[in-house]
Structure 1
C-alpha cells in the first residue's frame, strides 16, 4: 500500500479563505483530480462540503 500526502498553502500559510482557495495556479485542480480520483481521500468537513457531490 502506498500513501500520498498532498498539501498546499500560500506564502503566508493560508490554506483557505471563506471557502475559496487564496491563489490561482492553472491546472492545479485538474492535477489534484487526476491524482485522487478512484482513491480514498481524507479531508476536512469544510473541504468535503465545498467539493459537492462527486460521482
Structure 2
C-alpha cells in the first residue's frame, strides 16, 4: 500500500481496509498495520497475512 493510499484510507475510507476509528478519529497502530497488510495480501491474491 502506497503512503498516499494509506493517507486516503485514514482520512476518507478506513472501512475499506477494515479499520474502525475511535470517537476522536484515532486508530490503534497494530490494527492499522494488520489491516493494511491483509489488504495488500488480498490484492496480491494470497490467502492470509503472516502477521
Q: Normalising by the residue count of structure 1, what TM-score does the alignment of the two structures yield?
A: 0.23
Q: Normalising by the residue count of structure 2, what TM-score does the alignment of the two structures yield?
A: 0.24
Higher radius of gyration, 1 or 2: 1
